[in-house]
Amino acid sequence: MEWTNLLSNERLHDPKYSQQPNRSIFTQDYDRIVFSEPFRRLANKTQVQPLYEHDHVHHRLIHSIEVGSVGRSLAMAIGQWLVEKNIIEKGEENSLANIVQAACAAHDIGNPPFGHSGENAIGAWFSARFAKPEGIFKDLDANLREEFCAFEGNAQGFRIIARTEMYRNDGGMRLSKAVLGAFMKYPLSAATKKGLAGDSRKDDGYKEEGYFGKRKFGIFNSELPLFEEVADTLKLIKVEVGPYKWWRRHPLVFVVEAADDICYNIVDLEDAFTTGELQFDVVRGALFELADKPNRDTTEMSEAEQIAYLRAVSIGKGIDSCLEAFKENYAAIMAGTFSKSLVEAGKLSGQFATIKKLAGARIFTARRKTELEVSGHRIIGNVLSGILPVYEQLAGKGWNRDGLDDHAKQVARALVLDLRGISSPEQALHGMSDFISGMTDRYALRISRMLSGT
């Protein structure tokens, strides 16, 4: 892969758009994302701690801004190194930083309420309907079931920025193809992921241990042509195995991923200390190791100040570790064969692994979090079950919105259901998942109560 292609500022579905003299297209991309309604909703979506009243606990919006800050710093450092090596032109390091910051801002934009447990709840609800399919579930192409049964916030995010937001069905936010490429953490469809999982043919590294092929998918069938357009412009490496196709990651995906990894690993610990789920000594010990045992005198600092100090130093050390990992693995990254995250490949991988293990044992299994995830699962099921009759009736009326009865119209009006352009079972189910994934935690709770009459 070549940077001259990878840094394309051509806009999706707007190739004639010209850059303003004092404001790059990549900066405009960032602005389009942060001023969008889906981005604002992240302020009331779970990061780790659901429905928390504490003002200093992270939610998705703050997390996304912090990831953007870390990603920008790491990308700038990588860009400066590339300039020094005469791989890119001087000034293009700013493009790298702006591309990564924009992609970081959007990286969680498709996440549903209640975090990853919300994804699981959506998938479980669809799976139950497909177990004994009726109506629009029976009429859906069986090859498309997986993208609903294994609902994925990353694919929903690409759908938002490339289709549904701003220029609806015409390029979405019309972001630059470089930013769209840097956003795409899993450049394959659900059908490809499922198909390759059971395919015995040579897969050209797809199933290599640690590579994204064993994890998730990032593109719904409905947006596959849009990503193909992006990939063709960026000249991402395309792999075809029988009927299945996927792409090697854009190199800046690893930078976005690293920024996310650094932030959530470190900040989850700080939040756990803030909420009292982890004791000071436990959090301090983990961050002290990651921060490379700084010798600053902290005796006059409060416990919260000490944790904040170690958090800041740890983030800096994490950036340095990922920078060196990018340099050391540059050839493999550009060839599309690098199969780890930069955090895993860096010199601090052991310290990050310890923190991840601690979080898994003590934070993600905390009683309050578990109880609210159980509630969130029920809330999401209630909402989807409550709106399903509208879409079933729409199908029965030949997809004519005017043919809905008064109650269905009332429900659609009360919930502001967007029924525009729905003319197939696939579009109907995406309409439902668009609605539920766009909800905030508290709004989902309110609508669940309204629909169930409680």
Per-residue pLDDT reduced to its tens digit, 87-116: 999 999 999 999 999 999 999 999 999 888
Residue 20 β-bridge partners: 23
| For range 22-49, the mean pLDDT | 88
The pLDDT of residue 401: 95
Cα 70–chain centre separation: 16
Q: Which among 261, 267, 264 has a CA at the least distance from the CA of 56? A: 267
The pLDDT of residue 272: 87
For the segment 111-147, what is each residue's pLDDT rounded down to a tens digit?
Answer: 999 888 899 999 999 999 999 999 999 999 999 999 9
DSSP H stretches of helix in 85-159: 92-106, 115-131, 135-139, 146-149, 153-159
Work out the angle between the directed axes of helices 280-290 and 303-328 (0-180°, nearest 10): 30
Q: Which residues of 275-289 are buried (b: 16+ CB within 10 A; e: fewer)?
A: bebbeeeebbebbbb
- Distance, in Å, from the CA atom of 112 to the CA atom of 295, rounded to the nearest integer, reads 42
**Alpha carbon of 409 to those of 380, 393, 415: distances in Å?**
21, 10, 10
The pLDDT of residue 119: 93
pLDDT of residue 48 exceeding 80, the answer is no
- At 233, list the tokens: 């412009």
Backbone angles phi, psi at 241, to 5 degrees: -125, 105
What is the band of 201 on the pLDDT scale with cuts at 50, 70, 90?
A: low
Among the residue ranges 64-73, 157-166, 201-210, the one predicted with the least confidence is 201-210
What is the band of 49 on the pLDDT scale with cuts at 50, 70, 90?
A: very low
Q: Considering the chain, what percentage of its residues have pLDDT values greater than 90?
A: 75
Among the residue ranges 52-66, 172-186, 388-402, the one predicted with the least confidence is 52-66
Dihedral of alpha carbons 63, 69, 74, 76, sign? positive
Among the residue ranges 201-215, 319-333, 383-397, 413-427, the one predicted with the least confidence is 201-215
- Distance, in Å, from the CA atom of 61 to the CA atom of 59, rounded to the nearest integer, reads 6
| For range 352-360, the mean pLDDT | 89
Dihedral of alpha carbons 183, 310, 269, 326, sign? positive
The pLDDT of residue 54: 46
Among the residue ranges 1-15, 260-274, 341-355, 396-410, the one predicted with the least confidence is 260-274
Backbone angles phi, psi at 189, to 5 degrees: -90, 165
- Distance, in Å, from the CA atom of 178 to the CA atom of 231, rounded to the nearest integer, reads 9
HSE, side-chain direction, 13 A CA sphere, residue 266: 30
- Distance, in Å, from the CA atom of 251 to the CA atom of 432, rounded to the nearest integer, reads 33
DSSP letters of 193-205?
A: HHHHHT--S--TT
- Distance, in Å, from the CA atom of 133 to the CA atom of 107, rounded to the nearest integer, reads 33
pLDDT of residue 339 exceeding 90, the answer is no
Q: Considering the chain, what percentage of its residues have pLDDT values greater than 70?
A: 91
| For range 162-187, the mean pLDDT | 97
Residues 246 and 187 sit within 8 Å (Cβ to Cβ): yes
pTM of the model: 0.93
Residues 171 and 10 sit within 8 Å (Cβ to Cβ): no
| For range 174-201, the mean pLDDT | 88
Cβ count near 395 (within 10 Å): 16
Residue with tokens 């701690």: 49
pLDDT of residue 51 exceeding 50, the answer is no
| For range 264-276, the mean pLDDT | 88
pLDDT of residue 213 exceeding 60, the answer is no
The pLDDT of residue 80: 98
Residue with tokens 């690409």: 158
Q: Which among 6, 4, 60 has a CA at the least distance from the CA of 247? A: 6
The pLDDT of residue 261: 94
| For range 322-340, the mean pLDDT | 95
What is the band of 84 on the pLDDT scale with cuts at 50, 70, 90?
A: very high
The pLDDT of residue 60: 85
The pLDDT of residue 172: 97
Among the residue ranges 9-23, 184-198, 354-368, the one predicted with the least confidence is 354-368
Residues in the chain: 454
- List of E strands, 12-88: none
What is the band of 194 on the pLDDT scale with cuts at 50, 70, 90?
A: confident
**Alpha carbon of 39 to those of 13, 59, 164, 172, 345: distances in Å?**
22, 12, 13, 14, 31
